[in-house]
């Protein structure tokens, strides 16, 4: 199911009415209009909601200049790797019990890749 409402509104409703969304999601993609949202608010609402279960995979994309606003963990999930794009960063979060269960985009072993346009960094626990 795809929900097409403002993320803040959806998450506020999910916090207020836990059964609103029909339960937790297996996959969540968070790539809002970069500078038009509050990332601390989005992550706080997501943490307070019942939308994450122990096996949820979450992808969050955000502008590089806001990296200090992005938490290391979300609802029991941890950052697995970080993909640096020209103007943004993408972070997948996976279950803490299996932090390396999410494959790298290239399908290769964790590595560090960096060039003028892109870098891929493994998080320390891999």
More confident of the two residues 120 and 50: 50
Give tens-digit pLDDT for 77-118.
Answer: 988 888 888 888 888 898 875 444 444 455 444 444 444 344
Average of per-residue pLDDT across 8-21: 91
Q: Which of 64, 66, 65, 46 is nearest to 56 (CA)?
A: 46
pLDDT at 111: 43
Contact at 8 Å (CB) between 88 and 62?
A: yes
Q: Please state the three-class secondary structure of 34-83 as a single string.
A: HHHCCHHHHHHHHHHCCCEEEEEEEEEEEEHHHHHHCCCEECCEEECEEE
- Residue 15 CA from chain centroid, whole number: 18
Mean pLDDT of 18-35: 85
The listed range with the strongest mean pLDDT (41-50, 96-105, 114-123) is: 41-50
Q: What is the pLDDT of residue 101?
A: 47
β-sheet bridge partners, residue 79: 93
């Amino acid at each position: 199911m795809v929900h097409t409402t403002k993320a803040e509104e959806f998450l506020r409703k999910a916090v207020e009415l836990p059964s609103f969304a029909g339960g937790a999601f297996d996959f969540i993609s968070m790539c809002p209009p970069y500078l038009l949202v509050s990332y601390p608010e989005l992550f706080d609402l997501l943490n307070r909601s019942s939308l994450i279960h122990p096996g949820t995979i979450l992808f969050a994309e955000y502008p590089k200049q806001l990296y200090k606003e992005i938490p290391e963990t979300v609802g029991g999930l941890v950052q697995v790797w970080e993909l640096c794009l020209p103007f943004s960063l993408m972070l997948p979060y996976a279950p803490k019990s299996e932090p390396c269960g999410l494959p790298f985009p290239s399908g290769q072993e964790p590595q560090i890749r960096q060039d003028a346009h892109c870098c891929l960094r493994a998080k320390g626990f891999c």
